[in-house]
Copies of this chain bind each other. A is one copy, B any other.
Amino acid sequence: MAANRRPTLADVAREVGVSAKTVSRVLNEDGPASARTREQVLAAVAKLGFQPNLMARNIRVGGPDTTIGLVIPDLGNPFFGAVARSIEDTVRDRGLTLLMGSSADDPDRERALTDKFLARRISILMVVPSVGADHSHLKTHRAAGLPVVFLDRPGAGLSTDSVVSSNRDGAHQGVAHLIAHGHRRIGFIGDLPTKLYTRRERLAGYRAALQEAGLPYDRSLVANAHDQQGASAATAQLLGLADPPTALFAGNNIVALGIVTELARSKRKDVAVVAFDDVELAEALEPALTVVAQDAEEIGRAAATTALARLDGDRSRARTVTVPTRLIVRGSGERPAPVLQEA
C-alpha cells in the first residue's frame, strides 16, 4: 500500500552483518569472498528482494548507460519496427537495451528526444533524421566517444556513420522493370516533404530509368503524398489526367498501400504498379505486387555492427553503408501496357 522504500546495498549489508562493499563484491563477482559470506549475502538479497540500482552504479563507474537511443519517425511503421528488431537482436548479447521514441519527422521532437537520451548517457545514438533537423550539436558527444549512426537517411551538419538503402538504384531498377514491360507513361507518387532524402533519391532513380530508355520526364506524372489517404487521392488524380499513366511507381510502403487500395476500390486492373519497400500480403494481391524490397534486417544489423565497432574503439573515418535493395517480381509490373488513347 504505502510506497515502501526499496532496499539498498546497505540494507542487505546490515541484514547480514557485513559491510556494503562485501555485498557489492559478492554481487559483482569482484574480489574474493568466503563461501559462507556469499551464501548469507545471497540469502539476504533474496529475502529483501534487493535489486541493485543501475543508475547509482553507472554514476559511480562513470561509464555510459547500457542503452541505445533510437529515434524513428513512427513506432507504428512496420519497416522501422523490423529495423528495430534487427538492432535489438544484434546488440542483445552485449547487454544493451533500446530506448525508443518517434519523431513524427518533426525536427523539434527529434531534438527533444535525442536530448533526453543524451542526458541519460546512452551508449549509442541511432537516428532516422527528420527533414530540416541539424545535427551539429552532436559533435561534442561524438568527441566524447558516443557512437552516432544515422539510419535510412544521412544526417545534416555532422559527418558520421550512416546506413541507407540503395534508393536510387532500387528505384531505377523498379522503373526499368515497368519500362521493359512496355510502359511509357509511368507515374511517381512520393512522400512529402519533397526534400526528404529517400524521396529525392528514389525520384532520381525514376528519372534515370526514364532517361536511359529515352522517355521524357513529365512533371505532371509526379505527385506527392504523405499518408495512405493522400496516396489514394494522388492515384485518383493521376489516373484522371487527360493523358494518364499506365503504370505507377510507389515511393514507399505507405504510398503503396494507398495506391493499391485506390486501384482496388476503382477496379482498375489495367494499371501496373511497382512499389518501393515490401508490404505484407503483397503476394496475395491480384496481381501480386512487384516491389523493390528494402532489407530492414540488414539495415539494422549493419547499423548495430558499426556502432559496436565504434564502441570498441574503431576510430576510422565515418562510413556510409549502402544496403542493396532487391527487385521482387510478382506480377503487378508485367501487364502489357494498354494502347494509349489520345487526349
Contact = CB atoms under 8 A, between A and B. Distances in A.
A264 interface: yes
Interface string A73-99: 011111001101100100000000111
A100 B100 contact: yes
A315 B284 CA distance: 50
B280 A264 contact: no
Interface stretch (A16-24, A52-60, A126-134): A52-60
Given A1-B315, A264-B288, A102 B85 contact: yes
Task: Tell me how many chains of this kind the complex includes.
Answer: 2
A144 B6 contact: yes
Interface stretch (A32-40, A113-121, A178-186, A317-325): A113-121
A145 interface: yes
Interface in A131-150: 137, 140, 143-145
A231 to B, nearest CB: 12
Contact of A121 (B55, B257, B265): B55
A74 B119 CA distance: 28
Interface string A326-341: 0000000000000000
Contacts of A65: 55, 120
A144 B285 CA distance: 52
B283 A261 contact: yes
Contacts of A120: 54-55, 65
Most buried by B among A49, A51, A261: A51
Given A65-B120, A263-B284, A280-B281, 16 more contacts: A3-B144, A3-B145, A52-B119, A53-B59, A53-B121, A54-B116, A76-B84, A77-B81, A78-B78, A97-B117, A99-B99, A257-B280, A260-B281, A264-B283, A264-B284, A285-B285
13 contacts: A1-B315, A4-B145, A49-B137, A53-B119, A55-B59, A55-B65, A56-B59, A76-B81, A78-B78, A88-B101, A97-B99, A98-B100, A264-B286
